Amino acid sequence: MNRQLSELSASELNEAIDDTNFPQSHAMSRQRNSSVCSTSSNSAVMGLSDSVRSLSNLENELQVDETQTCKDQSNNIENVNDANPRSKPIGFMRREHPTTLLKMNGSVEGKFDVPGTPKTPRTSTTPGHENCTFHHDLELDHKPPTREALLPEMARSYRLLLGSLGEDPDRQGLLKTPERAAKAMLFFTKGYDQSLEEALNGAVFDEDHDEMVVVKDIEMFSMCEHHLVPFYGKVSIGYLPCKKILGLSKLARIVEIFSRRLQVQERLTKQIAVAVTQAVQPAGVAVVIEGVHMCMVMRGVQKINSKTVTSTMLGVFRDDPKTREEFLNLVTSK
């Protein structure tokens, strides 16, 4: 059995490995297949000894053969061992190969130049991407689209709508209607691109004033989100300052921000009140909206004289009936 590796057949090599790993089961298998029990047992023991010696010789031969290769690659191995002490050659059938290390979050440690892989994932906090409306973290060449960039797709949608109604989008009166309608819808919903900070523009002033401030009958135009038809009306806003006042025109601009969106009047009323609260931290805010909804006037029940009134009271306007009554009297007076 003391032969070179090249002289061993595949069956002999497998038998040696099997005897080493499973000596008892292999000996029992030989015993069952032999007609003379004692002879088979002795043969199994002798075969096992020879197999173990053969396997030991194979290990020594492989280690000798690897000596020169290890010397030639000593510098590389030392560098790998310094970076990863576990990646050392430790013998036949037990060599550990250097593997890619995974961090705890599942990402691969190291740099991989794979086409299409973002070098730095973008987030809404990445400089230059704070105001991205249509933001996506995995886009490589991300450029936030302007609202004007939406016009072609919106115009195609309106053209399809006209065709679905049985109209001819190519006739003279409708030739430019899809583009006009797209521009009009962008104007109706321009509040999506506006923020409270931009509207205020720093117009918050320190002032020792704690009496009620009311701006009433602010015109409002919005779009019903249920039917995409307009509703319009008037907004009245009152607040009790706490050493800070807001530029009067800014109240109207706050109305414009939230009304120029797809809305319902109930939510619009509350959004205006919350925005004023965020702007000047007053003792209280009151908002009343009186609106006419075209979804009730020109369709459905078709009640042309109906009006919808909603209110939101925060702070002292909710807690103090006299303060609330004073505000309502000022709003309803002519």
Report the distance separating Cα 45 and Cα 24, nearest Å.
Answer: 10
Degrees, nearest 5: CA angle 299-304-309: 100
Q: Which of 12, 66, 290, 295 is catalytic?
A: 295
Q: Which of 224, 256, 263, 271 is catalytic?
A: 224
Q: How many other C-beta atoms are found inside a 10 Å radius of the C-beta of residue 326?
A: 16
Do 265 and 289 meet the contact criterion of CB atoms below 8 Å apart?
yes
Q: Which of 78, 96, 198, 226 is catalytic?
A: 226
- Any idea what DSSP says for residue 260? S
Q: What stretches of 69-208 adopt beta strand conformation (E)? A: 204-206
26 is catalytic: no
Do 327 and 239 meet the contact criterion of CB atoms below 8 Å apart?
no
The answer for residues whose C-beta is within 8 angstroms of residue 325's C-beta and 6 or more apart is none
Report the distance separating Cα 328 and Cα 314, nearest Å.
Answer: 14
179 is catalytic: no
Look up residue 124 and give its two tokens.
């809404």
Give the residue among 91, 82, 98, 85 at the shortest CA–CA distance from 55: 91
37 is catalytic: no
Q: Which of 26, 256, 263, 293 is catalytic?
A: 293
70 is catalytic: no
Q: What stretches of 181-332 adopt beta strand conformation (E)? A: 204-206, 213-224, 230-240, 244-246, 262-263, 284-293, 308-315
130 is catalytic: no
Q: Which of 61, 197, 225, 266 is catalytic?
A: 225
Look up residue 256 and give its two tokens.
């414009």
Strands 262-263 and 213-224: what pairing? parallel
263 is catalytic: no
Q: Which of 12, 132, 227, 290 is catalytic?
A: 227
225 is catalytic: yes
Strands 284-293 and 308-315: what pairing? antiparallel
CA distances from 146 to 61, 125, 143, 170, 220 (A): 71, 19, 9, 28, 25
Give the residue among 180, 143, 191 at the shortest CA–CA distance from 158: 180
Q: Which of 26, 256, 263, 265 is catalytic?
A: 265
Which residues does the annotation mark as catalytic?
Answer: 224-227, 265, 293, 295
